[in-house]
Amino acid sequence: MPPPRTRDSRHHDRDHRDRSHRAAREEEEEARERWDWNRPETRRLFEEAFFREEDSIRQSSEERHKFWAFFERLQRFQNIKASRKEEEEEKGPGLAKPPIPALADLPRTYDPRYRINLSVLGPDVWGSRGSDRPDRRLPPDKVAEFRKALLHFLDFGQKQAFGRLAKLQRERAALPIAQYGHRILQTLREHQVVVVAGDTGCGKSTQVPQYLLAAGFSHVACTQPRRIACISLAKRVSFESLSQYGSRVGYQIRFESTRSAATKIVFLTVGLLLRQIQREPGLPQYQVLIVDEVHERHLHNDFLLGVLRRLLPARPDLKVILMSATINISLFSSYFSGAPVVQVPGRLFPITVVYQPQEAESLAAASKSEKLDPRPFLRVLEAIDHKYPPEERGDLLVFLSGMAEIGAVLEAAQAYAAHTQRWVVLPLHSALSVADQDKVFDVAPPGVRKCILSTNIAETSVTIDGIRFVVDSGKVKEMSYDPQAKLQRLQEFWISQASAEQRKGRAGRTGPGVCFRLYAESDYDAFAPYPVPEIRRVALDALVLQMKSMSVGDPRTFPFIEPPPPASLETAILYLQDQGALDGSEALTPIGSLLAQLPVDVVIGKMLILGCVFRLAEPVLTVAAALSVQSPFTRSAQGSPECAAARRPLESDQGDPFTLFNVFNAWVQVKSERSSNSRKWCRRRGIEEHRLYEMANLRRQFKELLEDHGLLAGVQAATPRDSHSRLQQRRERQALYQLKRQHEEAGGRRRKVLRLQGEADGGSSDEDAEGTATREAGDSVDIQDVKFKLRHNLEQLQAAASSAQDLTRDQLSLLKLVLGRGLYPQLAIPDPFNSGRKDSDQIFHTQAKQGAVVHPTCVFANSPEVLHVQEPEARDKEGSRDDKDKMSSKHQLLTFVSLLETNKPYLVNCVRIPALQSLLLFSRSLDTNGDCSRLVADGWLQLQLVDSESAVRLLAAALRLRARWENALDRQLARQAWRRRDHRDEEEEEEVAESLAHCKDVVALSGELLQFMASKVSYSLRRLTGLETQNLYVGPQTITTAPSLPGLFGSSSLSPHPTKGGYIVTDFLTYNCLTSDSDLYSDCLRTFWTCPHCGLHMPFTPLERMAHENTCPEAPPDGPPGAEDATPEVPQKTSALQRPYHCEACGKDFIFTPTELLRHRRQHM
Amino acid sequence: MACELEHGPPGVFECQLCSLTAPYSYIGQKPPDTESVILLEESYIMKDPFTANKDRFLVLGSRCSLCSRLVCVGPECSLFYSKRFCLPCVQENIDAFPREIQQDLEKRKVPAKKPVNKPRP
Ligand SMILES: [Zn+2]
Ligand SMILES: [Zn+2]
């Protein structure tokens, strides 16, 4: 090996000690004094000489800065050393005689340079590079100096990187699970299923995938219950496995995937894996499946286990690792026929448990005020201040049941903190903005502790370092589904022992800790051992739908690890039948199979499909996305009048989905304006921008789904017309990618030091605003904005948003109709006395729940008057303040997305809809009296119309419109199924023709629907009392006047209703089944009437008259409002209106149109 | 094994003293994707995993010039003084090294006793 060709000039000095050289040296010294390394020009010269153009040091300003800083430090250090060295060199003894020849050629004199294992080429040795001559402006000794610095810089970099590598491996080796890696792999070789049980901190989630990778497995999937865990684990594992900048480790979640062909391990959500199984039941793409956090017993995880248990015999080569905390391990092991368990001890420091049950007075205070008493919590803060010196670090984590409780303690704790200056109090729950959630990771200044008030989110989802104290209230609020009341209920429960242990464990992650339990040990002993699995407490309709679409058989007999309550299953099946997703035999309908593929609520899915039918895809996409994410309106802005004022122009008095629609569209407009700052725009309006990003992502996903399923024609990306703008667009994207890369290089968000309360004079809201401001200054790139612009076609979005502003009133009404039908039967009726009440006392009733209120964020909470029946409309001369019997054509109902019960039952995301028309179009069950002037919808809402003529007209129109709407939907679904297949040319032509016809029909249908919605008929609306619903129907013993009217109701055959009485007209309409105390026979009273069109003169009941008018072949095309649209269709429909009739009087069978029938019957009178 | 020019991950480097393991992508004196640096020993090299820059490499280790044991560049396992020496070999021939290195090793002895990262026998 040749010696390094580069030598530092200074070490040759010894050879130049004679006079002539000294003169030269003095000259040199002089030049050196004039030499200035700090001149940018000098630096640039050297950079150009030493670094290649694509070199990272030359390219990245950060690298350059680092190098020159290092250079300056080194020079200072060298100057000090140089003066010392000269003395030392005199007495330098040199080396002892080496005993081994291999050591003989070691340099005799020590120099740090010899300890560096690399060498840098530079301009003076570039000889091989051809004509390049060393730059004359670079003096050789300066070149040497620079080279030496560079050498040390590179060596330093090597040492640093290697140090990180070694540290990483040390930490991995120190994890408790490291001892078990071999055993896990060995067991997996011998068995198909292995259970790895270990507590938080043992490292199973990060290490097991890496053991598999190291053992040569290459198709590994690891499921996580939460999306956020997929991302963070993929990041951590790729970092630890040294492929941070490679693609061996990836993740796949609903909107994002970093997966590529080179990916060997993918972290994905359970839901996504289930969808993969749905597509490919054998799951051929994976060799090993890790199912993490099985002990959490999420709905989908439980289902996945059942699916896997069935799949395994068919895939003997597929390996499965179930990972669990050390909870109920035998359950999982025995479910997979005694799968072996590898149990790993956790790494927890000892934790002292202190039981501090709340005293009776505190409990009494709490029950009286319904507000949590914060005193027991403050006592813990005091105790900590009293017992532990502030220099001993360690933060406090308090587990509370919900946001209200957090609020109560926050207030008191902040007052205490302001007084002692020893605490920073921070809330943590899922409704906080992302930035506020992130604050819990910031560090408190010295001598001050963090006090984090959290929901159970910190039990498993969020891990905060440095916690030494835990306060456990023992309570949790969980969403439970009440199938009877059809509502979600947020209720407070005692936690399980498993949760209590989990909470306690949070105190011992970084050192010995203390856990204060605000309950008695006897309480603890009475806790359930484990939390109630999700399958036992939530609505199961999404699960049942998915099961149906995966053809796993009857959900009632599916081998769940623990079966759900049979009642929940039945409710879910009924609900899906109600929604039209399952048919009578519980098989998937076409719309059901489509819904199963849309990863959304059935209700939202229906909306999307209906929207496509009416060419309203773009607005419906936005609304559906908006309704599928958490509300973007921040809580903190609730009380701010500025926010409310800024938000007002976006509010729609039609309902919350329309407000959200406006917000999203306005935001997209802001985004597409080059100079504007959407972050600021959102903050000013009290909007959590993160939720809007989520909406954009969901919207895009919905759109792709609809396109994939042939419901929406794929749109070609709008390509800019000329090459100039194409180029410009490409440049912009490149710039965005560059920004994203830089952000990732910088490592994202850094921890900050929290400020003490009151330091910046004041309340938390001040602190809030400033906190975000400084945050932004530190991070000038809005990375969310960059990602958004990279992910979405902003031009397309903006086009959709601006066309939304141009939506006509008709389109808006149609949109409302689509929402209404999608949301049906989620309806509420305003209480009749609302107009006489305060805004805050407005109540509403659903079929199952009385006395619900609109959510405070709801637009109707502030302007309830739009729901009241306007006074001028009222014909009620009595001047009564209630709307119950008020005759009006403007009664309205609320349709809502969800009913959520916390301290009150809240209607969330409401839209107001006209009552009569909506009920006629949507009801599952419509019952009438004899002249149809009285209608009962779904057995709970009664409509009393002013006159039976208009009633019959509207009813007839509704029947037709419903049939045509159904038909349009069927055709849309059929075309969707058709588009997904391959076709011959002639078929394509047929399709085009059919498509055109369909299109025309839909336009006509839309027009008629709108006309129908606008029809003005006075009626009263009320909710039936319990007693009334019991005595609603006449029952099977019915009067036989009805069969004379079939023509009114289209082409269905009439048969008596077995239970209600009256006659079944369609699957939803039962005629004349309502009991009536007054006019039982009114429908039989006939008066003579002459048809103005055909001249027919005979006695008619009002109903018969309508029936004739409706079908009179000579009626002009323009009939009375509401029913007129039917007339043009009569000629073609004549035959359809004929039906068999058996005449009791003459004992013969006929086929009659209704008019013929009337004529015939007259003969017998 | 003289100047193999291998790309991709041809194997896994494992230090025979501390058993640190990492996949290497190249063995030799001229790291790929860099022009201005040459190494003064035959080294096991990987792309620096801690940066996105493709031209940054990381030397994992090399063979001891006396006993030809494969050792990592970690200060607990080896040192470089114009050549690579594993620490056992240095200890054995401590007198052959300059005083600076001797002093260095003296200083190092204290932290070397940490329980983690104990050299394997
Ligand atoms: Zn080593
Ligand atoms: Zn050796």
- Higher-confidence position of A612 and A352: A352
In this predicted model, what pLDDT tens digit does every residue of A1038-1078 receive, in sequence order? 444 444 454 555 545 567 788 888 778 888 888 878 876 55
Ligand that comes closest to the CA of residue B88: 2
Q: For an interface test with A, which of B13, B53, B95, B118 has the most A Cβ atoms less than 10 Å from its Cβ?
A: B53
A6 CA: distance to closest CA in chain B (Å):
12
A51 touches chain B (CB under 8 A): yes
Last residue of a domain, one of A498, A532, A566: A532
A777 touches chain B (CB under 8 A): no
A239: containing domain: 175-344
Last residue of a domain, one of A504, A532, A560: A532
The answer to the question of residue A591 being in a domain is no
Q: For position A1132, what pLDDT does the model report?
A: 34
Q: For position A135, what pLDDT does the model report?
A: 59
In this predicted model, what pLDDT tens digit does every residue of A491-530 receive, in sequence order? 888 999 989 998 998 898 888 999 999 999 999 999 998 8
Query: Do the Cβ atoms of A346 and A505 come closer than 8 Å?
Result: yes
The distance from CA A517 to its chain's CA centroid, rounded to whole angstroms, is 34
Q: For position A800, what pLDDT does the model report?
A: 77
Q: What own/partner pairs with CB < 8 Å and gap ≥ 24 does A443-446 have?
A: A443/A751, A443/A752, A443/A753, A443/A754, A444/A395, A444/A753, A444/A754, A445/A753, A445/A754, A445/A755, A445/A756, A446/A391
Three-state helix/strand/coil letters over B28-90? ECCCCCCCCEEECCCEEEEECCCCCCCCCEEEEEEECCCCCCEEECCCCCEEECCCEEEHHHH
A4 CA: distance to closest CA in chain B (Å):
8
Report the separation in Å between the CA atom of A954 and the middle of ligand 2, taken as the mean of its atom positions. 98
**What residues flank ion ligand 1 with Cβ within 5 A?**
B 15, 17-18, 20, 72, 74, 77
In this predicted model, what pLDDT tens digit does every residue of A439-455 receive, in sequence order? 888 888 988 999 999 98
Report the separation in Å between the CA atom of B64 and the middle of ligand 2, taken as the mean of its atom positions. 5
Q: Verify whether the Cβ–Cβ distance B82 to A106 is below 8 Å.
A: yes
Q: Please give the span between the terminal C-alpha atoms of chain B, in angstroms, as a whole number.
A: 26
Identify which of A800-809, A964-973, B58-67, B108-117 has the greatest average pLDDT. Answer: B58-67
Q: Verify whether the Cβ–Cβ distance B36 to A50 is below 8 Å.
A: yes
Closest by CA to B19, choosing from A163, A203, A170, is: A170
In this predicted model, what pLDDT tens digit does every residue of A98-107 receive, in sequence order? 567 778 788 8
Q: Is the pLDDT of residue A166 over 90?
A: yes
Last residue of a domain, one of A767, A792, A822: A822
Q: Verify whether the Cβ–Cβ distance A118 to B38 is below 8 Å.
A: yes
Report the separation in Å between the CA atom of B65 and the middle of ligand 2, taken as the mean of its atom positions. 7
Q: Are residues A365 and A269 in the same domain?
A: no
Return residues 31-90 of B near A (CB < 8 Å): 35-41, 43, 46-53, 55-56, 58-60, 62, 65-66, 72-74, 79-84
Q: For position A409, what pLDDT does the model report?
A: 94
Q: For position A208, what pLDDT does the model report?
A: 96
Q: Are residues A143 and A36 in the same domain?
A: yes
Q: Are residues A859 and A967 in the same domain?
A: yes
The answer to the question of residue A547 being in a domain is no
Please return the burial class of A1165, using the count of CB atoms within 10 Å of its CB with bins 0-12, 13-18 and 19+: exposed
Report the separation in Å between the CA atom of B87 and the middle of ligand 2, taken as the mean of its atom positions. 7
The answer to the question of residue A105 being in a domain is no
Q: Are residues A994 and A1119 in the same domain?
A: no
Closest-CA residue of A relative to B56 is A56
Closest-CA residue of B relative to A119 is B38
The answer to the question of residue A1156 being in a domain is yes
A244 CA: distance to closest CA in chain B (Å):
6
Q: Are residues A136 and A190 in the same domain?
A: no
Closest-CA residue of B relative to A163 is B74
Report the separation in Å between the CA atom of A103 and the middle of ligand 2, taken as the mean of its atom positions. 12
In this predicted model, what pLDDT tens digit does every residue of A168-219 receive, in sequence order? 999 899 888 999 999 999 999 999 999 999 877 788 999 999 999 989 898 9
Cβ-based contacts of B40 with chain A (< 8 Å):
1, 4, 116-119
Identify which of A136-140, A360-364, A737-741, A1068-1072 has the greatest average pLDDT. Answer: A1068-1072
Q: How far apart are CA A175 and CA A539, in angstroms?
A: 40
- What is chain A's alpha carbon radius of gyration, rounded to the nearest angstrom? 38
**What residues flank ion ligand 2 with Cβ within 5 A?**
B 64, 66-67, 69, 86, 89
Q: How far apart are CA A843 and CA A828, in angstroms?
A: 10
- Higher-confidence position of A1123 and A835: A835
The answer to the question of residue A291 being in a domain is yes
In this predicted model, what pLDDT tens digit does every residue of B46-95 receive, in sequence order? 988 888 777 789 999 999 999 999 999 999 999 999 999 999 999 999 98
| DSSP bridge partners of A322 | A195, A291
For the record, the structure tokens of A1051 come out as 């082409």
In this predicted model, what pLDDT tens digit does every residue of A802-840 receive, in sequence order? 777 677 888 888 999 999 988 888 899 999 888 888 877
Q: Is the pLDDT of residue A312 over 80?
A: yes
% residues pLDDT > 90 (chain A): 28
For the record, the structure tokens of A588 come out as 């998937």
Q: For position A545, what pLDDT does the model report?
A: 93
User: Which of A169-173, A457-461, A778-782 has the lowest average pLDDT?
Assistant: A778-782
| DSSP bridge partners of A321 | A194, A290
The distance from CA A328 to its chain's CA centroid, rounded to whole angstroms, is 30
Closest by CA to A327, choosing from A356, A294, A369, is: A294
Report the separation in Å between the CA atom of A248 and the middle of ligand 1, taken as the mean of its atom positions. 26
Closest-CA residue of A relative to B85 is A103
Ligand that comes closest to the CA of residue A162: 1
| DSSP bridge partners of A1021 | A943
Half-sphere exposure (Cβ direction) of A463: Cα atoms closer than 13 Å: 13
Closest by CA to A826, choosing from A807, A802, A849, is: A849
Global confidence as pTM: 0.73
Return residues 7-36 of B near A (CB < 8 Å): 20-23, 35-36
Query: Do the Cβ atoms of A1128 and A1069 come closer than 8 Å?
Result: no
For the record, the structure tokens of A976 come out as 């969707």
- Higher-confidence position of A630 and A460: A630
Cβ-based contacts of B35 with chain A (< 8 Å):
52, 121
Query: Do the Cβ atoms of A1038 and A1056 come closer than 8 Å?
Result: yes
A245 touches chain B (CB under 8 A): yes
Q: For position A1128, what pLDDT does the model report?
A: 33
Q: Is the pLDDT of residue A756 over 80?
A: no
The answer to the question of residue A666 being in a domain is yes
Report the separation in Å between the CA atom of A156 and the middle of ligand 2, taken as the mean of its atom positions. 24
Q: Verify whether the Cβ–Cβ distance B58 to A170 is below 8 Å.
A: no
For the record, the structure tokens of A177 come out as 């699970």
Q: How far apart are CA A376 and CA A399, in angstroms?
A: 13
* DSSP letter string, A404-461: HHHHHHHHHHHHHHHHHS-EEEEEE-TTS-HHHHHGGGSBPPTT-EEEEEE-THHHHT
Half-sphere exposure (Cβ direction) of A438: Cα atoms closer than 13 Å: 13
Q: Are residues A151 and A179 in the same domain?
A: no
Q: For position A336, what pLDDT does the model report?
A: 96
Q: For position A774, what pLDDT does the model report?
A: 37
Identify which of A352-356, A832-836, A959-963 has the greatest average pLDDT. Answer: A352-356
Q: Are residues A183 and A327 in the same domain?
A: yes
Return residues 153-212 of A near B (CB < 8 Å): 154, 157-158, 161-162, 164-166, 169-170, 173-174
Ligand that comes closest to the CA of residue B89: 2
Give chain A's mean pLDDT. 80
Q: For position A211, what pLDDT does the model report?
A: 95
Q: Is the pLDDT of residue A467 over 70?
A: yes
Q: How far apart are CA A184 and CA A166, in angstroms?
A: 24
Q: Are residues A368 and A395 in the same domain?
A: yes
In this predicted model, what pLDDT tens digit does every residue of A651-697 receive, in sequence order? 888 999 999 999 999 999 898 886 668 888 998 888 888 889 888 98
Out of A120, A166, A242, the one facing B49 most closely (by C-beta) is A242
Q: Are residues A318 and A377 in the same domain?
A: no
Ligand that comes closest to the CA of residue B63: 2
Q: How far apart are CA A402 and CA A495, in angstroms?
A: 13
Q: Are residues A915 and A985 in the same domain?
A: yes
Q: Is the pLDDT of residue B8 over 60?
A: no
Q: Are residues A669 and A693 in the same domain?
A: yes
DSSP annotation of A753 reads B
Query: Do the Cβ atoms of A123 and A143 come closer than 8 Å?
Result: yes
Closest by CA to A277, choosing from A317, A234, A306, is: A306
The answer to the question of residue A719 being in a domain is no
Cβ-based contacts of B65 with chain A (< 8 Å):
102
A737 touches chain B (CB under 8 A): no
Q: Which residues contact A622 (CB under 8 A, 6 or more apart)?
A: A661, A664, A665, A695, A699, A800, A804
User: Which of A919-923, A1149-1153, B40-44 has the lowest average pLDDT?
Assistant: A1149-1153
B94 touches chain A (CB under 8 A): no
* Residue A825: cis peptide before it, omega within 30 degrees of 0: yes
Q: Are residues A1098 and A987 in the same domain?
A: no
Q: Looking at residue A329, which CATH number applies to its domain? A: 3.40.50.300
Q: Verify whether the Cβ–Cβ distance B38 to A114 is below 8 Å.
A: no
Closest-CA residue of A relative to B61 is A162
Strands A319-324 and A193-198, how do they pair?
Answer: parallel
The answer to the question of residue A768 being in a domain is no
Q: Verify whether the Cβ–Cβ distance A51 to B53 is below 8 Å.
A: no
Q: Verify whether the Cβ–Cβ distance A162 to B101 is below 8 Å.
A: no
